[in-house]
């Protein structure tokens, strides 16, 4: 999934916990990665215009992504694959490299909204993408994989753990001799979130950004234009009950910007923190003031 996955657990359960999480992420990545030509998601994208018989996992994640697209009025749009590829993000970011320059788009970049035309057949478990539309499930799949990893740990009797996938993290249970998991926040020096349950996700442009024929690009696209969202934010962090919720909310709030993003979090009942390029910090919802 183009990121490092970390597992924190009591020392006597760490080795088996790591094995459980590795198996979950490996299976999800092999099925849902857009960077693997042999993945099921890549096969679905190649079959655009025709019904595709999907696995339970692919159908489930796609259905959840489309539900969030509807709930956010399309700000969260999982059908921006063609746009992100035209903007140069065709390979894993490790291959592009920070600050690397990629070739210009071969044709015009269109606005999003293709999610409205995706057809799901739950009885036959089939997905039909419109011609010219591709799915990119990277963000939401990462958050959902964190949740699935914690469920798998509980099923294995390893209920105390924190799983972090590149800033999308969730916890179950409490650390030994502690009443919370202390989490430092990217872009907010000294800020520590004391997380007792639930999840934290951060969306931002500090890492996945590049140049395309001299133009600045990042991976958080505004579906209204098909281009990267333009405003003063660098990161948005959100706390929610699940990593899926936190991931989608952080991404959507970032794309909408500070004011509309805060309104979104208030409507969802989530807490968040917004950080600008100048280092200004704004808290939303029930996010506590101060460093803890």
pTM summary value: 0.92
The structural domain count of the chain equals: 1
In a domain, 291, yes or no: no
In a domain, 167, yes or no: yes
pLDDT (tens digit, 9 = 90+) per residue, 119-129?
999 999 999 99
**Does 273 have pLDDT greater than 80?**
yes
Assign 54 a pLDDT band (cuts: 50, 70, 90): very high
Assign 218 a pLDDT band (cuts: 50, 70, 90): low
In a domain, 289, yes or no: no
Q: What is the mean pLDDT of the chain?
A: 90
Lowest mean pLDDT across 33-47, 114-128, 222-236: 222-236
pLDDT (tens digit, 9 = 90+) per residue, 140-173?
999 999 999 999 999 999 989 999 999 999 999 9
Lowest mean pLDDT across 9-18, 51-60, 221-230, 266-275: 221-230
In a domain, 271, yes or no: yes
In a domain, 242, yes or no: yes
- Give the range of the structural domain holding residue 208, as residue numbers without chain letter: 5-284
Average pLDDT over every residue of 223-250: 93
In a domain, 292, yes or no: no
**Does 98 have pLDDT greater than 70?**
no
pLDDT (tens digit, 9 = 90+) per residue, 67-94?
999 999 999 999 999 988 888 776 665 6
Average pLDDT over every residue of 100-125: 84
CATH number assigned to the domain comprising residue 272: 3.10.520.10
In a domain, 290, yes or no: no
In a domain, 73, yes or no: yes
Which of 88, 101, 75 is CA-nearest to residue 236?
A: 75
Confidence (pLDDT) at 281:
92
**Does 201 have pLDDT greater than 70?**
yes
Confidence (pLDDT) at 92:
62
């Amino acid at each position: 999934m183009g990121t490092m996955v970390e597992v924190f657990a009591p020392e006597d359960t760490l080795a088996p916990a790591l094995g459980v999480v590795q198996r979950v992420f490996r299976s999800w990545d092999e099925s849902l990665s857009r960077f693997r030509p042999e993945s099921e998601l890549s096969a679905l994208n190649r079959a655009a215009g025709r019904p595709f018989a999907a696995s339970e996992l692919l159908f489930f994640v796609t259905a959840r992504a489309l539900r969030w697209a509807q709930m956010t009025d399309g700000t969260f749009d999982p059908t921006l694959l063609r746009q992100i590829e035209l903007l140069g993000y065709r390979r894993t970011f490790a291959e592009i490299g920070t600050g690397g320059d990629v070739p210009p788009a071969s044709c015009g970049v269109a606005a999003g909204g293709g999610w409205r035309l995706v057809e799901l057949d739950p009885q036959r478990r089939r997905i039909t993408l419109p011609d010219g539309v591709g799915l990119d499930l990277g963000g939401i799949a990462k958050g959902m994989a964190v949740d699935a990893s914690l469920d798998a740990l509980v099923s294995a009797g390893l209920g105390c753990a924190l799983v972090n996938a590149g800033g999308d993290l969730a916890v179950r249970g409490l650390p030994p001799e502690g009443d919370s998991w202390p989490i430092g926040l990217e872009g907010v020096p000294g800020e520590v979130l004391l997380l007792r349950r639930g999840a934290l996700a951060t969306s931002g442009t500090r890492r996945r950004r590049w140049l395309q024929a001299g133009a600045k690009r990042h991976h958080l696209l505004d579906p209204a234009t098909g281009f990267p969202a333009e405003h003063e934010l660098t990161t948005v962090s959100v706390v929610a009950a699940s990593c899926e919720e936190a991931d989608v909310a952080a991404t959507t709030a970032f794309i909408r910007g500070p004011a509309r993003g805060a309104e979104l979090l208030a409507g969802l009942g989530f807490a968040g923190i917004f950080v600008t390029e100048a280092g200004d910090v704004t808290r939303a919802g029930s996010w506590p003031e101060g460093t803890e």
